[in-house]
A and B are shown apart, each in its own frame.
Chain A
Amino acid sequence: MKGCSFGREGEKSLKETFSEISPSDFFYRNRDLAGFTNPARALYSTVRELVENSLDACELESILPEVYVRITAYDPLEEAEPKKYVIRVQDNGPGVEPERLPEAFGKVLYGSKYKLRQSRGMFGLGGTMAILYGQITSNKPVTIETSVDGVKRYYYKLMIDIEKNKPIIVEKKVGEGNGLRGTVVELVMEGDYFRSSTKIQEYFKQTALVVPYANITFIEPSGKIFYFLRTTTEMPPPPKETLPHPHGIDVEFMRRTIRQSSDESLAKFLSKRFHRVGLKTAIKFLQYAGIDPNRSPKSLSDEEIVNMVSAMHRYEEFLPPDAGCLSPLGENILAAGIVKELAPEFFTIVTRPPSAYSGYPFIVEVALAYGGKILENGIKLYRFANRIPLLYDEASDVSWKVIHEEIDWKRYRIPQDAPIAVIVNISSTRIPYKTVGKEYIADRPEIERELKNALRETLRKLSAYLSRRSSEEHEKKKINMYLKYLPLIANFSKELAKKSRPPNYKRLLSKGEEEERQKKIEEFTDS
């Protein structure tokens, strides 16, 4: 495993380990890191990884996803948890080319995802990790069916050679495609559904919130079926691949890129291989770094590579990364999901302009939903990173910190126990997770700032809505009060003044309404 990079954090220790053991072996030994801590968590992570792979595959080709997930007990008579479960995930995605299939599913860190493009999974690791975990706990091969054209359908039974990080094909068959495209993954693993059912159901509910364009069916071991139906056919545009931004690369990556290149000059090399670097910028930068732009990239010594990379990180003239490669949810899709899953009385969505941290572009979307029949009192936080729901370690997440520590809710006159949902989606080519388990996002100042601004804007809107609502209620109440009391006053004054008929109070009623209208117009023009 050469030239792998996990970003600068923790880079050193991982690299050292890799020189001695295979990635499969590494993840086998460190499965806690990837969210396979115990049978309950492992079952949840397996479902999640496989569903994410299916959704990613569909979205890449703009296919409206149909995802079917079933968990059944391997032995229906076995009762005690943890026990063996069969997990089956089926999609209508583009399928996997048969010649690529064994490597794609049977080798850790292989796959289309190891590129700079926004997707749910980061390293093509999760799915294979699930297969690996299944194999370790059940000693059963994984079954994969796939068809890219609907004409032919391939069946594979695979095992992973952990030490060598290589797939072993146990069985291979070809059959009729019957016009069905897509992929089915079925594996057996030790899990604990009793202890993970809440999280798994919550995972589907939250996923449905951000992919309202998908049909998702989930059948739990008891046979109970959960349907999450499509309510929009609008999909986010598929994310585009992008070159790495000079602020975001490390020495190892640079070394690898140089090795693979055949460019004769450094200036050309930089302008071809990096995002936001043209020939002019490359030359200016190399002058800044004190390196001859005409030198061959391969002539650089290790020390010179290190110096060049650190100069790149310092150099401020590079334009920030372009967010064109990102695929945020978009307000229409998020709105459809919120209406479908939360049915709130009021909601608002704010999409922040693209920003960047350490050379990685990101976009923050925040939605605030209020009231309705589904939301319970208190603030419920829904966290998404590249549309993946994050369900664990909420209090360690940057969004939680912003909501509970950085925002003064009193300023917006929103009661603490109001029925509120805050939905946060962060889209980036690299989400700064704090762990490989992908459960919470680090408090990068750039991200924190964008979150804060977005949340404040949604709160201002909610606050305005609430005060408008209460003033409308107030007006209604006022008119009702007039209707109730003015006739009484008129009548008593008639009696006191010894008149034969009550005074005409109707003019006052219409006057009251007219003044309210006037007041509203004035308030509007003022603001």
Chain B
Amino acid sequence: MKSSPTARKREVQEMLKVLGEKIYYQIENGVFPEIEMPSRSVKNIVYDEKLKQYVVGKNRVKRSSKNIKHLRPFTQTIWLAFFVDKLIREGKTSTLRDVYYSAQAFGIEFKDQAESDEIITDLEALLGRAREDYNVYPEERSAIYGDITIEYTTPGHEGKRLNLASHPDGYLIGPSLSTAELVETSAKMVFAVEKGGLFTRFVENKVHEKYNALIVDTAGQPPRSTRYFLRRLNQELGLPVYVLTDADPYGMHIYMVIASGSANAAHLTELTVPTAKWLGVTATDIETYRLPYVRLTDEDIKRAYELKNDPRYRDERFQRELDVFLRKQKKAELEAFAKYSLDYIVDKYLPDKLKEVKEL
């Protein structure tokens, strides 16, 4: 984990070469090549109490080129390995969608992007590395703002430095930012907020100055590169991460994925911020601050029951909040604080809640 992005790329390249050699010699020796990887089936995903996240279990699956049913995904996986090796060597990145289209040029077919995304996840499991480590990124949506200086490692921009407080709309957390070295910061904490609207309000109200904070817009459920970047801020710079979401079960879960990861990425263990704190908005806050609310939908209720049984929610505070949701049947949005004034959430709510979670 402590290794720099550049070093991580070299490790991945070495792994890819080993994979290539293994297959090469299997063929040379007249053996149908096969690869093995951790199983990602639901049965093999277990909750790790120590890591406080879902991890893959001990089951492994074999993919053999001899089996006619495996042959196509096998070839797709090897192609992807070849493709990302080339990406790393040439210092290029690719979106998930790019991968889907690029295949065609090499005589590899994917019937849709879902199929290529699946193979990308397979390669993650095979190598035990996130796709960002081999230069494949989703379409970026999330952004960061605040006083932190980074230094690019991206080819053509190496050594160039940038302070992320220079542009009030924030900076996209994309491939270049994710792999940049973190040089220095005056920040003491990170606020991750669910919505672009609130992100802008925080910048306008100078939250970064008032709290010495970096502000991150997760744009809903954060993409993995954002989760990975939050982790780096937390681990490399020691900044505590506070998460602010809407007051509903889905909002709560945005926090939980940042803190404890998702079942989808159970094969990856370096995307979480276990010490991240949820500021709110909690179900209790709706009552305390008399926020305008709407009724929970059937969908919300179903989700709340699911979360109550999820091992990541065993903590008493989360159980209590889920119970309040279910009892009061109310939910509210971050924007609801505008009922008092546009500044209320920054000047009143935020200090209250920071004090509250520090006492936890």
Binding site for B on A (CB under 8 A): 477-478, 481-482, 485-486, 488-490, 492-499, 503-505, 507-508, 511-512
Pick from B17, B30, B82: contact of A492, CB under 8 Å: B82
| A-contact bits for B147-172, CB 8 A (1 contact / 0 none) | 00000000000000000000000000
Decide: B23 and A493 in contact? CB cutoff 8 A: yes
Decide: A489 and B27 in contact? CB cutoff 8 A: yes
Bound complex: CA of A376 vs CA of B20, how far in Å? 53
Question: Does B19 lie at the interface of the complex (its beta carbon under 8 Å from any beta carbon of A)?
Answer: yes
Question: Does B72 lie at the interface of the complex (its beta carbon under 8 Å from any beta carbon of A)?
Answer: yes
Decide: A508 and B30 in contact? CB cutoff 8 A: yes
Pick from B28, B74, B86: contact of A489, CB under 8 Å: B74
Decide: B27 and A485 in contact? CB cutoff 8 A: no
Decide: B79 and A488 in contact? CB cutoff 8 A: yes
Pick from B21, B30, B71: contact of A481, CB under 8 Å: B71
CB distance from A409 to the nearest CB of B (A): 28
Decide: B68 and A489 in contact? CB cutoff 8 A: no
User: Which B residues are in CB contact (< 8 Å) with A498?
Assistant: 17, 20
Decide: A503 and B28 in contact? CB cutoff 8 A: yes
Which residues of chain B from 102 to 155 have any CB-CB distance to chain A below 8 Å in the complex? 106-108
13 contacts between A and B (CB under 8 A): A486-B65, A488-B106, A492-B79, A492-B82, A493-B20, A493-B23, A493-B33, A496-B17, A496-B21, A496-B78, A496-B85, A503-B25, A505-B27
Bound complex: CA of A488 vs CA of B76, how far in Å? 10
**Who on chain B is nearest to A495 by CB?**
B82
User: Which A residues are in CB contact (< 8 Å) with B79?
Assistant: 488, 492
User: Which A residues are in CB contact (< 8 Å) with B71?
Assistant: 481-482, 485
**Who on chain B is nearest to A486 by CB?**
B65
Question: Does B305 lie at the interface of the complex (its beta carbon under 8 Å from any beta carbon of A)?
Answer: no
User: Which B residues are in CB contact (< 8 Å) with A508?
Assistant: 27, 30, 32
Task: Specify the main secondary structure of chain A where it touches its partner.
Answer: helix
Bound complex: CA of A189 vs CA of B44, how far in Å? 83
Decide: B20 and A497 in contact? CB cutoff 8 A: yes
Question: Does B252 lie at the interface of the complex (its beta carbon under 8 Å from any beta carbon of A)?
Answer: no
Question: Does B190 lie at the interface of the complex (its beta carbon under 8 Å from any beta carbon of A)?
Answer: no
Question: Does B96 lie at the interface of the complex (its beta carbon under 8 Å from any beta carbon of A)?
Answer: no
Given pairs A488-B108, A495-B20, 12 additional interface contacts (CB within 8 A): A485-B65, A485-B74, A488-B107, A492-B20, A493-B21, A496-B78, A496-B82, A497-B20, A497-B21, A499-B24, A503-B27, A507-B30
Decide: A496 and B28 in contact? CB cutoff 8 A: no
User: Which A residues are in CB contact (< 8 Å) with B24?
Assistant: 493-494, 496-497, 499, 503
**Who on chain B is nearest to A482 by CB?**
B71
**Who on chain A is nearest to B79 by CB?**
A492
Decide: A493 and B27 in contact? CB cutoff 8 A: yes
CB distance from B257 to the nearest CB of A (A): 33
User: Which B residues are in CB contact (< 8 Å) with A497?
Assistant: 17, 20-21, 23-24
Bound complex: CA of A508 vs CA of B30, how far in Å? 6
Decide: B30 and A511 in contact? CB cutoff 8 A: yes
Decide: A490 and B27 in contact? CB cutoff 8 A: yes
Question: Does B81 lie at the interface of the complex (its beta carbon under 8 Å from any beta carbon of A)?
Answer: yes
**Who on chain B is nearest to A485 by CB?**
B75
Bound complex: CA of A494 vs CA of B28, how far in Å? 11
Q: Most chain-A CB neighbours within 10 Å: which of B68, B71, B107?
A: B68
User: Which A residues are in CB contact (< 8 Å) with B82?
Assistant: 492, 495-496
Question: Does B37 lie at the interface of the complex (its beta carbon under 8 Å from any beta carbon of A)?
Answer: no
User: Which A residues are in CB contact (< 8 Å) with B86?
Assistant: 495
Bound complex: CA of A507 vs CA of B20, how far in Å? 19
Bound complex: CA of A499 vs CA of B30, how far in Å? 17
Decide: B68 and A478 in contact? CB cutoff 8 A: yes
User: Which A residues are in CB contact (< 8 Å) with B85?
Assistant: 495-496
* A492 touching B68 in the complex, CB below 8 Å, given contacts A497-B20, A497-B21, A504-B28: no
Decide: A489 and B33 in contact? CB cutoff 8 A: yes
**Who on chain B is nearest to A496 by CB?**
B20
Pick from A481, A488, A496, A503: contact of B68, CB under 8 Å: A481
CB distance from B11 to the nearest CB of A (A): 15
**Who on chain A is nearest to B82 by CB?**
A492
**Who on chain A is nearest to B66 by CB?**
A512
CB distance from B17 to the nearest CB of A (A): 6
User: Which A residues are in CB contact (< 8 Å) with B75?
Assistant: 485, 488-489, 492
User: Which B residues are in CB contact (< 8 Å) with A489?
Assistant: 23, 27, 33, 65, 74-75, 78
Bound complex: CA of A204 vs CA of B66, how far in Å? 55
Question: Does B346 lie at the interface of the complex (its beta carbon under 8 Å from any beta carbon of A)?
Answer: no
Question: Does B16 lie at the interface of the complex (its beta carbon under 8 Å from any beta carbon of A)?
Answer: yes
CB distance from A97 to the nearest CB of B (A): 73
CB distance from A471 to the nearest CB of B (A): 12
User: Which B residues are in CB contact (< 8 Å) with A505?
Assistant: 27
A-B pairs, top 4 by smallest CB distance, nearest first, are A496-B20, A497-B20, A503-B27, A493-B23
Bound complex: CA of A172 vs CA of B234, how far in Å? 122
| A-contact bits for B66-103, CB 8 A (1 contact / 0 none) | 10100110110011011001100000000000000000
User: Which B residues are in CB contact (< 8 Å) with A493?
Assistant: 20-21, 23-24, 27, 33, 78
Bound complex: CA of A498 vs CA of B85, how far in Å? 11
| A-contact bits for B189-214, CB 8 A (1 contact / 0 none) | 00000000000000000000000000
User: Which B residues are in CB contact (< 8 Å) with A496?
Assistant: 16-17, 19-21, 23-24, 78, 81-82, 85
CB distance from B336 to the nearest CB of A (A): 54
User: Which A residues are in CB contact (< 8 Å) with B68?
Assistant: 477-478, 481
Bound complex: CA of A508 vs CA of B28, how far in Å? 9
CB distance from A479 to the nearest CB of B (A): 10
User: Which A residues are in CB contact (< 8 Å) with B23?
Assistant: 489, 493, 496-497
**Who on chain A is nearest to B28 by CB?**
A503
CB distance from A484 to the nearest CB of B (A): 8
Bound complex: CA of A131 vs CA of B352, how far in Å? 112
